[in-house]
A and B are shown apart, each in its own frame.
Chain A
Amino acid sequence: MAEPRYTVVGGGLAGLMAVIKLAEAGKQVDLMSIVPVKRSHSVCAQGGINGAVNTMGEGDHPDIHVKDTLRGGDFLAEQTSVKGMCYAAPGIIYMLDRMGVTFNRTPEGLLDFRRFGGTLHHRTAFAGATTGQQLLYALDEQVRRYEVMGRVRKFEYWEWLGMVKDGAGNCIGSVAMDMRSMEIRTFPAEAVLLATGGPGIVFGRSTNSVINTGTAAGRAFLEGALYANGEFIQVHPTAIPGEDKLRLMSESVRGEGGRVWVPKKKGDTRRGEDIPESERWYFLEERYPKYKNLVPRDVATREIFQVCRELGMGIGGGDAVYLDVTHIPAPTLDAKIKGVMEIYEKFVGDDPRRIPMKIFPGMHYSMGGLWVQFQPNADNVPEPGHPLNQQTSIPGLYAAGEVDFAFHGGNRLGANSLLSCIYSGQLVGPSMINYAASRTRGEDQAYFTDAKREWEDRFESIRKMDGTENPYVLAQELGDLMTDACTVVRVNAKLEKALEKIGELKDRWTRVNVLDQGANANRALSFVNQLSNMFALSEIIAKGALLRDESRGAHYKPEFSLPEPKTRDPNEDPEWMELWRQRNEKWAKITIAKHTPNGVDISYKDLPTPVLDPEPRWYA
């Protein structure tokens, strides 16, 4: 038999970290990516990476990081993996430092840390405002080194299509397509890792990159992998709306002192820079005197949404508020957040150093994803190297990075995503190796021949689709629908309607025109297939949102929200605490979506809380 190989799908932070762990252990890896890995979506992360390194003399500690993360996620995160992540964080930052990441420095030459949302500590290491890009490059460089050493083969511009399973239902490899030659082939593997990122494109325009259709996760779900907490979608408070995408204005802007406000006078027609201090309403600072502009993202997003949509206090009565850094000296801005300043300048045309930026919330991140498991040890962290860590419900199929559901619960804290990507990538490498060591492989050639033929047949039939519907128009309609029904405010009547409309879109998909018969680099062909997987994800999200009759983290359903407590600290209102306890008992559970012949089936799984007991979440 040929030398054993591992497949990693996706070349963002999680995928590359896993490749490094596998190659470092002497294993052979096939790294597959829809774009050259250096162009993966991780480059878009701006603000930084969290780790309680405590070099700022604030008494920070991984335990406080754990608490901030679990509380920030409204107690829906998988607790042992969160603890493992927060304890690993300082070491991860040091490893990146050794790899040569150009982190900002203190005068003594140490790593500098900035503040981010949902914490009161300076815990975020950063490289200007392009931290994700810098981290991705560092891992990309290490992977290139292993490529030269002959341990990694890259398959760039290859799209993962689906699993190859043996008779027992174990994942024993993949089917993939070369997006240039359109060749379809199989990749036998000891274990397969999906590190394929989030599903932003399901929402049409978002802060996500073009490739983030979620197609791989959608397909894995249709092939039997469980999907968890799909309805938890983070809408970032500060983005600039564009025709092609919503461009993120990093939370680091507020971490460095940026202030959010609207004119006190409704419909004020003056330019932002002409409105005097006394006539500005800093609503986040007023409502959250402790965290001010750095409340968690779901909280900030709801406040901005409410100010614009309910109070009609948005700039010029529309969907926008000011994000203001004009009080910060320009050299400071350029040293710390130049990348973001430049994006605003380039795409809007105004200089944010002089003119307050206009922003509005935009779909940003999926806390939910493929359900994965962890094997806790006596310290309540994942046992290093255990084959169950990061394994999906399908043996041999792993998931890490944004595509897994584990680390962020109901809402992700800023600068925890780069961390969770790298931590899960570190965890999953050894786990895949030990899984492979624990089982013997048979000769399964027939499974591969069959899988390849099935996919060739599927694409042959897609190629013949010559109906009247345009697949890109269907995707746009899906995006508008999902943005309207499944982002900031969720209402059951609207969600029911959305599910109905997704059904209609799926039906229209059968009458799609593939638009391109070409045998070379036929992107439309590939997109028509991706679209069917995007429908699967949209149903998971919408149905999960419909059935979860409560508000938790980013999932906000005013019809089912608890009343406001009578005291500022809810713990001092016993009646309210009783309501909260009942609510929590019913809903502090993981949503599990399963594919059935009749569509998405939703059930709930108990969530153990060995690390921290749930408590009401308040930031006032």
Chain B
Amino acid sequence: MSQGQFVHLKIWRQEKRDVPGKFEEFKIPYKRGMNIISCLMEIQRNPVTASGSKTTPVVWDSNCLEEVCGSCTMNINGKVRMACSALVDRLDQPITLEPLKKFPLDRDLTVDRERMFDSLKKVKAWIDLDGTHDLGPGPRQSPKDQAVRYKISECMTCAACLEACPQVSIDNHFIGASAIAQARLFNLHPTGAKNADERTRGLMGEGGIQDCGKAQNCSLVCPKEIPLTTNITKMNLEATKLSIKDLFTDEGQRTHK
């Protein structure tokens, strides 16, 4: 659906967090196979708006450009997605680019997603390794278990699931689908299972899994098509089982004091 010679873009420009922003429009030469990133790169080489006034290059985050690093998440025509895999030929014009709205803005299309990395700390999203010295192979795992874990481990912390979630807002603490699925990734590992309760408890406090409103937007927007709602359901079950178990164990009583 090439629209003749030019690609028409409307891009959100904002110098920093607490100042007002505005849209700037650009018309850039069309080339076959263009994605949003190549449009932004073209603006760097010629930072002039559609009305002919000079402006600064747009600031955005991107890195791998093949949808594995999770950097270039933004709202494109009102929908959260990765800019690298957003091909111009498949988008209605003018193409609107806006930053993620559930995260503090840094500048233009860049935001601070530290919240997501903090959540990974909360759920202890790691294996408690004895050390990096030579201890032989890890536990055997079936190809079937590997397939389940592999899918979850493709999560690139891109933030699409949080952006689309009605329960997440810029000033609340809901942990969101990504970290819930990561907790399950490690609980499913034979070694990780040894600390499964600790991880599940990380999901049970303020802003925890109980805040999920089951809107299921997360699964719809995940660029890696991770079955996030399934993972949330599974972890919900683990959380329920654990809260009952905690009533009867010393460890549980200590944790909930």
Contact = CB atoms under 8 A, between A and B. Distances in A.
A550 interface: no
Interface string B132-170: 101111101111001101100110110000000000000
A137 B31 CA distance: 35
A43 B67 CA distance: 10
Interface stretch (B119-127, B211-219, B229-237, B241-249): B119-127
A521 B191 contact: no
Interface in A66-103: 91, 94-95, 97-100, 102-103
Instruction: Give the size range of A's interface with the partner.
Output: 35 or more
* Interface core residue of A21, A515, A523, A524 (most chain B CB under 10 Å): A523
B189 A127 contact: no
Given A102-B149, A521-B110, 4 more contacts: A100-B186, A242-B38, A349-B87, A518-B56
B92 interface: no
A467 to B, nearest CB: 14
Contacts of A248: 66
B146 A38 contact: no
Interface of A: 20-21, 24, 35-36, 38-41, 43-44, 91, 94-95, 97-100, 102-111, 127-128, 130, 133-134, 137, 141-142, 144-145, 147-148, 180, 209-211, 242-245, 247-248, 335, 339, 342-343, 346-347, 349, 426, 470, 472-473, 476, 515-516, 518, 520-521, 523-524
Interface of B: 15-16, 31, 33-35, 37-38, 41, 44-47, 56-57, 59, 61-71, 84-85, 87, 106-108, 110, 113, 117, 120-121, 124-129, 131-132, 134-138, 140-143, 146-147, 149-150, 153-154, 156-157, 185-186, 189, 191-192
Given A98-B138, A148-B121, A209-B69, A523 B57 contact: yes
A127 B84 CA distance: 23
Given A244-B84, A521-B59, A346 B67 contact: yes
A35 B110 contact: no
Contact of B35 (A99, A243, A426): A243
Contact of B63 (A210, A470, A520, A521): A210
A518 B15 contact: yes
Contact of B150 (A24, A44, A127, A144): A127
Contacts of B150: 102, 127-128, 134
Contacts of A148: 121
A273 B85 CA distance: 26
A542 B137 CA distance: 45
A470 B56 contact: no
B138 A102 contact: no
Contact of A472 (B15, B41, B66): B41
Contacts of B128: 145
A221 to B, nearest CB: 24
A41 B70 CA distance: 11
B63 A35 contact: yes
Given A36-B117, A39-B69, A43-B156, A141 B143 contact: no
Interface of B is mostly: loop
A105 B143 contact: yes
A39 B156 CA distance: 8
Contact of B132 (A20, A144, A515): A20
30 contacts: A36-B113, A36-B117, A39-B70, A39-B71, A41-B64, A94-B137, A98-B135, A100-B138, A100-B192, A102-B146, A102-B150, A109-B143, A110-B140, A127-B153, A128-B150, A133-B68, A141-B125, A144-B117, A147-B121, A209-B63, A242-B65, A243-B35, A243-B38, A244-B84, A247-B65, A248-B66, A347-B85, A349-B87, A520-B106, A521-B108
Contact of B154 (A130, A349, A476): A130
Contacts of B121: 144, 147-148
Contact of A142 (B56, B61, B126): B126
A516 B153 contact: no
Contact of B120 (A144, A472, A518): A144
Contacts of B191: 98, 100
B137 A111 contact: yes
B107 A244 contact: no
Nearest to A154: B117
Contacts of A43: 64, 68-69, 156
A144 B127 contact: no
Contacts of A41: 63-64, 69
Nearest to B137: A94
Nearest to B62: A210
9 closest A-B pairs by beta carbon, nearest first, are A109-B140, A141-B126, A97-B138, A521-B107, A243-B38, A98-B138, A244-B38, A102-B150, A472-B44
